[in-house]
Chains A and B, each alone.
Chain A
Amino acid sequence: AQTVTQSQPEMSVQEAETVTLSCTYDTSENNYYLFWYKQPPSRQMILVIRQEAYKQQNATENRFSVNFQKAAKSFSLKISDSQLGDTAMYFCAFMKHIRLDAGNMLTFGGGTRLMVKP
């Protein structure tokens, strides 16, 4: 079984600054996906960024980027130029590669509450 750990329950950052959210995971799989989801007060789950484990290049989506360290089983999210709309819960999630197990679903970490201050 996989486990996902987010060690920072809450974080805050000033608007326009950069913040990094941490995530570690434990798995015996070699091929898998990692995700960061954002959950604003509306509770909607929004996919922020995804990473395939076999890709060495770190994923980037506009102001969001990841630092994926496969050997260390670490997957941190960096948010640059933080905006007030980034205030939300952020969840790290793991999924085995779909070619290995087509029916597999997501395993989530406990979340990090991010507050962006004006």
Chain B
Amino acid sequence: NAGVTQTPKFQVLKTGQSMTLQCAQDMNHEYMSWYRQDPGMGLRLIHYSVGAGITDQGEVPNGYNVSRSTTEDFPLRLLSAAPSQTSVYFCASRGRSETQYFGPGTRLLVL
């Protein structure tokens, strides 16, 4: 199993550009989530999904959209990138247990 995969590893955007961060898991997990990690801080929840077709907002959802058309994929869309969205983004998934599995992260720099 590949676990949780994220692409790209690193991305530079200009203010106002849009992009999609990809996340996929091959463990047939129901629950998937996106977190952001700013320098010197812990991870904060952006959006999450409890199954295909069902998403909800986390602590810091503004400026981001998500969808969950399949169990495996949970992309995060930045609609119009802002410098405040410069961060490291982590995708995570879990099954019926409490254990979260994290992807390797995507480092995003918005100029």
Residues of A within 8 A of B (CB): 4, 6, 9, 33, 42-45, 47, 50, 91, 93, 95, 97-98, 102-103, 105-111
Q: Is the CB of B102 within 8 A of A110?
A: no
Q: Is the CB of B102 within 8 A of A44?
A: yes
Q: Is the CB of A105 within 8 A of B42?
A: no
Interface centre among B35, B42, B88, B105 (most CB of A within 10 A): B42
Q: Once bound together, how far apart are the Cα atoms of A91 and B44, in whole Å? A: 12
Q: Once bound together, how far apart are the Cα atoms of A45 and B89, in whole Å? A: 12
A and B contact pairs by CB, cutoff 8 A, 5 listed: A44-B104, A45-B43, A93-B42, A102-B31, A111-B42
Q: Once bound together, how far apart are the Cα atoms of A43 and B89, in whole Å? A: 10
Q: Which residues of B from 68 to 111 have beta carbons under 8 Å from A?
A: 88, 90, 92, 96-100, 102, 104-105, 107
Residues of B within 8 A of A (CB): 31, 33, 35, 40-45, 48, 50, 56, 58, 88, 90, 92, 96-100, 102, 104-105, 107
Q: Once bound together, how far apart are the Cα atoms of A74 and B44, in whole Å? A: 21
Q: How many A-B residue pairs have CB under 8 A?
A: 58
The residue from B41, B48, B56, B105 contacting A43, defined by CB atoms under 8 A apart? B105
Q: What is the predominant secondary structure among interface residues of chain A facing chain B?
A: loop
Q: A43-B88, A43-B104, A103-B48 are in contact. Are A98 and B43 (CB under 8 A)?
A: no
Q: Once bound together, how far apart are the Cα atoms of A6 and B105, in whole Å? A: 23
B residues near A97, Cβ cutoff 8 Å: 98
Q: Once bound together, how far apart are the Cα atoms of A118 and B8, in whole Å? A: 36
Q: How far is the CB of B82 from chain A (nearest CB, A)?
A: 22
Q: Is the CB of A109 within 8 A of B42?
A: yes
Q: A91-B42, A108-B42 are in contact. Are A33 and B56 (CB under 8 A)?
A: no
Q: A103-B31, A106-B45, A110-B40 are in contact. Are A45 and B50 (CB under 8 A)?
A: no
Residue of B nearest to A98 (CB): B98
